[in-house]
Structure formats: C-alpha cells, structure tokens
Amino acid sequence: MRIAVLDDYLKVAKGMANWDSLKAEITFFNEFIQPEKMAATLAPFDVVVAMRERSAFPASLIEALPNLKLLVTTGLRNNSIDLDACRKKGVVVSGSPGDPLSTGATAELSWALLLALFKKIPQEDANMRKGLWQTSMPPTIKGKRLGLLGVGNLGQQVGRVGLAFGMDVVAWSPNLTAERAAEAGVKLVSKEELFKTSDAISIHLVLSERTRKIVDAACIQSMKPTAYLVNTSRAGLVDLDALKAALEQGKIGGAGLDVYASEPVTANDPWRQVPRTVLTPHLGYATPENFAVFYKNVVANIGAFAAGAPTRVLT
C-alpha cells in the first residue's frame, strides 16, 4: 500500500501518529502540489490523505488516479472533494475528526484579528521597531457594536467574548430568527442594519451557492468608514474585489483575513500589499492539539480500511 500525505507545510505529520503501524510506503508532501501536477504526482498512490480543503479533488482528478482506493480527509466535511465522483469510481472517502477542545480555535483567531485591528497592534509594533512612540489612539471596544454574520457555534463563541467586553452584539444570517438570536444572547437585526451600524463585523457562515458573495459590494459600501471586517470562514463569502477596492480607497477602517480565494497565497499575490489589513495564513484550525488528533484518526481510518472495515465513511 502506497500512501500520500498532502500539504504537510509544517512538516509535523510524521511525528504526530504511529504511521509505522500501517506497514506501508508513506510519502509526506511538504509543499503544495499545483493542480496541473496533481494527477501525475498522485497516480502511483492507493491512499491519499488530504489536510482539510487545502488541495481540491474535482471529478477530473479522481478519474485520473488509477490506483486510488481510499481518500482520507482531516475533518468530517470537505467541500473540495467531489464525493459523487468518488462514489462512481468506487473510491472510499473517510473523515478524521480533530480535537474537541480545538473547536473554538477559529473563534479565538477571530478575536485575535479583531483586537489587532481595534488596538492597532501591527502598526504600533512596526513603529516601535522604527524608534517611534505612540503613533495612534486605539479606540475603546466597550460600547461599540459587533455584528455577527452567522451565530452557529463559532459565531456564538465570538459573540460571548464581545458581550464580555461590553459590546452591543447584533446578528443576521439568512435563516436566523429573533428567538434563536435571543438564545445566543444577541439581537437580530436586518442585514442592511448590521452592515450600516456595526463597528466590526465577523463572518461565521458556511459557504454554499446560496451564501457565495453574501457580503457584496453594496454591503461593503454601506459600512462605516471606521468599521472593520473579519473573515475566518471562507473567502467565497465576500466579494473580494469590492473589499480590496474599499481598503485601498480608505472607505472602511480595515480587514482581518485568514482565508483567501486561492491557497496557499503566492508570494506575489496582490493581497499581501493591500493596506489596512491584518493577514494570517489560514491558521483558524491549525493547532498542534487539532493536528495530533487529526493524524491519529487518519492512521486509524487507513488501518480500518486495510482490515476491510472502513470507518467514518463519507461516501
């Protein structure tokens, strides 16, 4: 059995699980494989391990892998895998849950970005190193309005912190009711009001055809000139061209981004130079605790498949 472990950018996968127990030939890929090279690179492998949605597996790729029998993804959902194509070809897809205590890691990062924006931390850190002193006056967070786009598990966690800071926390999503908002301790407002009146907006929606570019140019144009937008969910939820233009023109206060249209972001990607931003490289779920559990469950899934009893099957 030949196993490919993809997108191990931090070179940690090998030490996080007992791969030797599989008695297989295992290759760890530390660099991102360009889409046009995926078929040739992965053709020899029987098993492929995907790290979340870093690498896409469309139908064309699934059909081009002659030896593929098992595709294991970290996490229990991966929108980058064409499950129908896997079913048609008889490829088993299994999910590998992570650390239950790390489910709030993305909410933590949302607040790291929010605080960095509100308190001007990147600018002041850079200016301190230049020999400067007090080059801005970061505003008080208490009393400001935090708008949540979505109040599922992560949105609720972000909202609770906002309430603890004394913020006015409001929310909107396509299916949110006043009752569900109240249960989360926040107030339901219209989408229009959320964007017009919030001092900071944090996005916590699942990407689908219904929610793609739900933060459109009109939403961004209606934001306060001092307001911040934070996205730790999916880049496709936002009209990125409109956001980029607003940031470059100084129409909004800033943005904190952990997700991008194409990942990993290339060294010369224009987003690296956009002003008024705090950028992180999709760190929301990338905790050592999460990865350790991910990979242990990956090994267990492969072992179960080799024994003829696949587990956590998604297809």
The catalytic residue positions are 234, 263, 282
Nearby residues of 152 by Cβ (< 8 Å), 6 or more positions away:
204, 206
Side chain identity, residue 285: Y
Nearby residues of 10 by Cβ (< 8 Å), 6 or more positions away:
286
Alpha helices, DSSP H, located in the chain: 35-42, 59-63, 83-89, 105-118, 121-129, 153-164, 178-183, 191-197, 217-222, 240-248, 288-306
The DSSP output letter for 169 is E
Parallel/antiparallel/unpaired status of strands 70-74 and 92-96:
parallel
The structure tokens 């600018």 sit at 123
**CA 163 to chain CA centroid, nearest Å:** 24
